[in-house]
Amino acid sequence: MKFGTKVIHAGIEPDPSTGAVMTPIFQTSTYAQEAPGKHKGYEYARTQNPTRSALEANLAALENGNAAVCFSSGLAAMDAIIRLLNPGDEVLSTNDLYGGSYRQLVRVHQRYGIESRFVSMDDPEKLAQAISERTRMLWIETPTNPMLNIIDIEAVCRVAREKGILTCVDNTFASPYLQNPLDLGADLVTHSATKYLGGHSDVVHGAVIVRDEQLASQLRFLQNAVGAVPGPQDCFLILRGIKTLHLRVERACENAVRVAAFLQSHPKVKKVYYPGLPEHPGHAIAQKQMRHFGAMVSFDLQEDTFEQASKVLSATQLFTLAESLGGVESLIGHPATMTHASIPREERIKVGLTDSLIRLSLGVEDVEDLIDDDLRAALD
């Protein structure tokens, strides 16, 4: 089954009681039992919900996994993954990652004895040397947020397997339409489904997809025990969004290519970060492991000050100044004060996240309007 068919049909059947084509929202907290312990597969809605079950089956198919486990947010999904580890264990993470992920690793799990170190994963040999006897998991973002670095998933997973440690790939920026890390050797794939999977900026959601049934069982236990589960309407909205995932992402990627080329030619722009540009250091790897180069573009201004960035951020009309990404509308953001404000400035500067860096999430509008009526005017 090809991807465009999977998003519509995988794991989804018409409702047997009514024939409804769209998965119903099972808005219930509990389920009637015929006798003690005798039920129809559902006991309590924190543990199971039919709407959530349909979404989990669909997500597993999209990522070529055997099981998916859904959570109330992407960070709740991450929390469950890190809870697979024990005090004294270590996570080795890419040094350019979402500020919320950094905050959780450093300010939450570190308090309970799970340490984190942040390293460049550009060179698999250097990565192998960085792995210590305490390292139990590699945490990868690719493309990274917000510098759009590309990590060779297959090469990094090979290193992890040789060391006997787990690899988790945050696939939020790419979505399953562009990249499938399980096929490249990853043990776990996670998504902030709030972004491209939902695609309409109207729901907060997270998911983890795996092939190994033991990992799935551990994650389901944590899902039920900790209780950070999504409601049935949230699951319905993600299912609704997924049906157009391939169409939305394809259009947004086409827009990103045009916008990156425009920014590269503008005299007020110092540098453009987009893996679709041939001079991007990760261009060849992105070509190998992605179906397209994504719909996120970051750029630095010639004058590296917050004041200059603020002028641009405040001058756009079609690009909405807002947190998040992956919706049908184009968004513009300032990572240093928004998505990555929880990372100390000295750490941000090390990876190139300057005070003038601006991040764009391309939507599905007409690209001529985005460039000529909005970005050009804001920069000029």
Which sign, positive or negative, has the C-alpha torsion 231, 235, 240, 245? Answer: positive
d(CA 372, CA 376): 5
Residues taking part in catalysis: 46, 98, 170, 195
Q: Which amino acid is at 358?
A: I
State residue 346 phi and psi, 5-degree precision: -60, -35
d(CA 79, CA 107): 12
8-state DSSP, 371: I
| 134: its two tokens | 């305490």
Of residues 60, 289, 351, the one with CA closest to residue 156: 289
| 58: its two tokens | 């669909």
Residue 35 has a CB neighbour count (10 Å cut-off) of 6
Chain centre distance of CA 65: 16
User: Going along 323-380, which residue ranges are E strands?
Assistant: 331-333, 358-361
**Which 3 state secondary structure label does DSSP give 207?**
strand
DSSP assignments along 104-156, one per residue: IIIIIGGGGT-EEEEE--S-HHHHHHH--TTEEEEEEESS-TTT-----HHHH
| 51: its two tokens | 């709407």
Distances from the Cα of 10 to the Cα of 13, 135, 239, angstroms: 8, 36, 11
Q: Which amino acid is at 127?
A: L
Distances from the Cα of 327 to the Cα of 203, 235, 361, angstroms: 11, 17, 8
d(CA 143, CA 38): 47
